[in-house]
Amino acid sequence: MSAIAERLAGVRRRIAEVCARVGRDPTQVALLAVSKTHPAAAVQEAVAAGQLEFGENRVQELAPKAAAFAGRGLRWHMIGSLQTNKVAALLDVPDLALVHSVDREKLVERLAELCAARGRTLDVLVQADATGEASKHGCPLAGLPALADAVVRSGVLRLRGTMAMGPLVGDPSPVFSSVAEAHTRLADRLGMPLPILSLGMSGDLEAAIGAGSTLVRVGSAIFGERG
């Protein structure tokens, strides 16, 4: 078994263990392997170990990796901050499954414009900023309803849920709980299911799952330190 396969198995055990502690079904928590800065060879090792969902932070890194594995059943997620001038290149990415980082109406407008021009739809999450840290992107929790309304109005973007990051320091549980509550209020307000709550990374996935995360984004715990 490769080192990446061993680490993947370890992360899956962590997910199962915390689910058992908090009374959740581990099949309801998806694992997204964040392959940013790691080569396609590392992705291949993860694929060989049964991982099919991968996330990238930058379009220019996502595009060639996705192309290298096109047609092999992988699902690619854009999880990093997205500039409007990168939208066209993003929509060219094969097997693009979900954009996590929709954080402002200008980006909604550009995504919708190009999706409509191409006659396609796109699954997205609205990204919340619940920490106020300067290094974080995202929409303040109070602005999520308006942002979600813009996504729904677009007609071509399909709102699937909410994404957020935990704090750089301190207990992440209160942050994750506040995002989970905002996510629930959003679904209730819209009267539609929002099945994806994307919270948690390598260092805080236990707190995220405890707060209700349905998707954890794990990089270093699978691939090691950044390449």
Residue-wise pLDDT for 162-206, tens only, equals 999 999 999 999 999 999 999 999 999 999 999 999 999 999 999
Residues 6 or more apart from 153 whose CB is under 8 A from it?
A: none
**Count of structural domains, the chain:** 1
DSSP secondary structure string for all residues of 164-188: E---SSS-SHHHHHHHHHHHHHHHH
Q: Quick one: pLDDT at residue 1?
A: 80
> Would you say residue 226 has pLDDT above 70?
no
- Range(s) of the domain holding residue 124: 3-223
Cβ contact 36:58 at 8 Å? yes
- Read off the pTM: 0.96
What are residue 162's DSSP bridge partners?
Answer: 126, 197
Q: Can you tell me the distance from the alpha carbon of 194 to that of 125, in angstroms, rounded to the nearest whole number?
A: 9
Q: What is the pLDDT of residues 106-138, one digit of tens each?
A: 999 999 999 999 999 999 999 999 898 887 889
Average pLDDT of 40-59? Answer: 97
Cβ contact 29:216 at 8 Å? yes
Average pLDDT of 3-31? Answer: 97
The CATH number of residue 199's host domain is 3.20.20.10
- CA 144 to each of CA 122, 138, 149, 226: distance values in angstroms, whole numbers, following the listed order: 19, 9, 8, 32
Q: Quick one: pLDDT at residue 99?
A: 98
Positive or negative: CA dihedral 7, 9, 11, 17: negative
Q: Can you tell me the distance from the alpha carbon of 86 to that of 190, in angstroms, rounded to the nearest whole number?
A: 29
Q: What does DSSP assign to residue 65?
A: H
Q: Can you tell me the distance from the alpha carbon of 107 to that of 185, in angstroms, rounded to the nearest whole number?
A: 23
Average pLDDT of 29-43? Answer: 97
